Structures are given as C-alpha cells and as structure tokens.
C-alpha cells in the first residue's frame, strides 16, 4: 500500500528514491539529428522560405492540373528529348487554355445584364 509523502519530510529526489529505488530518473533522449531539425525549423520562419514555398505550391498545382485534366500521367515519347517535347506540348496546352479564359471571358457588365 502506497502512502502519500509530505513535502516537509522528504525532498522530491528522496521521495522518488524511496518509492522507486531501482528506477533511474527519467531522461528524454535527444535525437542525433535534432540540431539539423532545429536549423530547418528556424529557416521555415524566414521570408525567403515562405516565398519559395508559395512558388513550389504554384508549380505543384500546375503539375496536378496537367495530370488530372490532360492525361499527363506518364510519358509516351521515348528519351529525354521526347519527354521534354511532350512536357512542352502539355505546358503549351495549359497556357493556351489560360489565355483563352482571359481573352474570351465576357465583360463584367455583360454578366450582370444576363442575370436580369
């Protein structure tokens, strides 16, 4: 049966030694690469990192759009030049679609007139 120890009689270390005599004090080990993680965490707060993260997100969104809407799952042409040409063609298609949406969009006044 455990009984409560009063802090006036024993210090914390003595109380721990009395209740758990064979168990060493708890130590939280630090990972071998924790210093590198700390450096990465500090870099994540910089303006340059935030800007590059936003740019990477835009590029990844473009690639995901190519994959889902244009069937750009895998390369059909062989070799590096074939892959480069196929990627250029897919990028041209995507740019032309973007341009078409901006050029042939009806003016804002015409959209309001259609609602009435």
Task: Give buried/exposed letters for 58-68 (b at 16+ CB in 10 A, else e).
Answer: eeeeeeeebee
Domain hosting residue 116, numbered range: 74-116
Give the total number of structural domains in the chain. Answer: 1
Report pLDDT for 50: 93
Predicted structure pTM score:
0.47
Report pLDDT for 20: 64
103 in a structural domain? yes
Backbone angles phi, psi at 26, to 5 degrees: -75, 130
Query: Which has the higher per-residue pLDDT, 52 or 1?
Result: 52
Chain position carrying tokens 């309001």: 112
Q: How far apart are the first and last CA of the chain?
A: 83
110 in a structural domain? yes
pLDDT confidence of 32, banded at 50, 70, 90? confident
* CA–CA gap between residue 20 and residue 28 (Å, rounded): 18
């Amino acid at each position: 049966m455990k009984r409560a120890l009063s802090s006036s009689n024993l210090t914390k270390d003595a109380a721990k030694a009395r209740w758990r005599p064979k168990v060493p004090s708890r130590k939280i080990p630090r990972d071998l690469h924790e210093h590198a993680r700390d450096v990465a965490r500090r870099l994540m707060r910089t303006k340059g990192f935030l800007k590059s993260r936003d740019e990477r997100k835009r590029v990844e969104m473009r690639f995901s759009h190519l994959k889902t809407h244009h069937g750009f799952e895998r390369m059909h042409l062989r070799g590096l030049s074939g892959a480069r040409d196929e990627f250029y063609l897919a990028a041209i298609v995507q740019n032309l679609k973007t341009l078409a949406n901006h050029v042939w969009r009806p003016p804002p006044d015409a959209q309001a007139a259609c609602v009435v």
